Structure 1
């Protein structure tokens, strides 16, 4: 089989005919929808992508998910969270800080205690 001399994106790199036909259809569809500008509008701004990445990182750990679930119904102080989680204070502090930095929980000082609560954003991830 002789190469058409085109790649799927028209760079001149050889591609087989079937692949070229499929890509031409894909490129035509992209152009029909408005081209690359339309595709780029589907991608959030870099700041929003960074915030989403932080949230997904925070959600990727079972301990942090457990914390979100126990905060789902009511705010709790660190001592209650720690009693439930049964992990060292430093490890709990680490996980709470990741959840807080990602915007999934808030902490409010009340005297010597910090009371943690789930944010509206956090509630979207625990149902």
Structure 2
């Protein structure tokens, strides 16, 4: 391995989720999780395609919300960090209608965490940083 040329990759900039409805996904990520819309661009012949990115305020990493490409939406997973998992869980519970699990991970030294699912079944793991 030492003979390989070092990678020039320095950052994970964009993770991508496949979603059935980009407008509904933007609504979920902005209203429920408080993400900002970082990009919403039409492209291709007659603007038939759309590139949408959302991110937590201040984050350099973004989440692209793409229509399905060769398959059904959903099934992806990302992890996001918070300083207070319990407060974020309580905030989401107060919104209501969010498909999420109870807080777990406090056993065996794991950080507190819980998973929630967007309307397409993609998982967002909220982990205490």
User: If the length of structure 2 is used for normalisation, what is the TM-score?
Assistant: 0.24
Structure ID, larger Rg: 1
User: If the length of structure 1 is used for normalisation, what is the TM-score?
Assistant: 0.24
Structure showing the higher helix proportion among its residues: 1
